[in-house]
Amino acid sequence: MKLPRTLVATGLLVGAVAVIGLTWPDLVSRTAYAIESEQASATRAQLNAARDLSRAFQDVAKAVKPSVVNIRSVAKVRPTGPSRVPQEQLPEQFREFFGDDLLDRFFQRRVPPEGLVQQGVGTGVVVSADGYILTNNHVVHGADTITVTLSDDRKLDGKVVGTDEKTDLAVVKIDAKDLLPAELGDSDQINVGEWVLAVGNPFGFANTVTAGIVSAKGRTGIADPSMYEDFIQTDAAINPGNSGGPLVDLEGKIIGINTAIFTRSGGYQGIGFAIPSNMAKQVMESIISGGKVVRGWLGVAIQNLNADLAQSFGYDGSDGALIGDVTAGSPAEKAGLKNGDIVVEFAGKPVKDMNHFRNTVAATKPGTKVELDIFRDRAHKTVTIEVGELESRGVVAAGGKETTEDLGFTVQTLTPELASKLGYTENEKGVVVTAVEPGSLAERAGIQPKDVVVSVGGEPVKNMNDFRAAMKKQDLATGVRLQLKTEGMKRFVFIKR
């Protein structure tokens, strides 16, 4: 008699079990054990990985903490004016960023009654065996005395070697032996997602270590527009008192100096900012060697590109920096740079945007000759330029009657009388914006009253006749490029319906 296949198969399996001397329950039990063993092995591997990371944190904390110091500054209150900056006079960016009680909460400063003293508390990090310390400018600004407390509780007098308001950095010097300096790393090599540790004295709790990751790089627009910004963003807990402390990688190298937080409450909310170590190193070395920060300068007003503005120049992409104006007698003018040039590369490296270009030039030693790859007249061109030295200059801001109804602004010829009232020479030519309609294309493009239109679509404008003739050649459907002059500096705007 022929058995069904299922029964034959079962018989074979049972026979196999019998041959190896196992009962069916034994086989099931051993199989379950094997599965559980594999899972346990996987769990052990995960635990080992977690322990390895934990040990890495421990090793970094142990290596860095001896280099981190507490800085306490004391300034005598001088009755020469208001004892503090009124909140309404704070830059809008600071009030929006930190809240209306910025001075009290973030900088940990309390302004005492007249005749007493004002104290500030922050952090610093020893970066050399001979006692140089990196910290924030706002930690030591205006201080009459500075006390530095080391990790071994030694208290020493600190001396400010130099400060730099444009980056919010300062260098302090102490005289001490047996210092353990931390090593400055290469912030350009840090990647988003990498583990980092922040060390400091938040709310006065000395040698506090927090862990997180690099959340973003190249953050700008955080504080004053005149500052040099290229912040590393992190979610490692940073609180008032952490200012000036180090942000380090898993090798224990400093990749940033903690300087600011985004907060609605005054405390940690997951967003902190650090000045990149490469920027800090350049500023520190300049202060130590020359007593001041020396920056490169080209003499151009620059702005970012958008897709429409780039297309109007025949340029593919939005990377690069657009030159809106060239300063007379500057290195840029001597090298032949012109309004409307787009800087694509600086010294062989791509230019990302206006801020990146500005920081790169500033970090270049004056007297250095570099090659620029620029885009002009729909073609690339190489220009050699010798970088000058930036001196103390004002902040460069990239920003009968006839109404241009489609655009939404009113202009008239710039007469000598008008030019004089606006602070220009009597020979200044163009048409001046006298009114801008709310919600119009002009307003959305950033055009404001008192702006002077000096060119339309690349054609010079000296008066209303030039303006009308140039505008007749333009098509709002494809867009109109205007060059404006505001307070002596030129910039481009692009308007499209």
Catalytic residue among 164, 168, 230, 341: 168
The residue written with tokens 């970012």 in the block is 304
138 is catalytic: yes
Q: CB 456: neighbour CB atoms within 10 A?
A: 22
- Per the annotation, the verdict on 215 as an active-site residue is no
Query: Of 243, 286, 312, 455, which is the active-site residue?
Result: 243
Compute CA distances 466 → 192, 431, 456, whole Å.
Answer: 51, 9, 9
Selecting among 138, 286, 341, 356, the annotated active-site residue is 138
Q: Is 243 a catalytic residue?
A: yes
Q: How many degrees, rounded to 5, is the angle at CA 476 between CA 467 and CA 468?
A: 15
Task: Estimate to the nearest angstrom the gap between the alpha carbon of 411 and the chain centroid.
Answer: 37
Please, which residues have CB within 8 angstroms of residue 171's CB and are 6 or more apart in sequence? 132, 133, 134, 135, 160, 161, 162, 163, 284, 287, 288
Distance CA 468, CA 456 (A): 10
Q: How far is CA 223 from CA 96, 101, 138, 190, 345, in A?
A: 10, 15, 13, 23, 27
Q: Which residues are catalytic?
A: 138, 168, 243
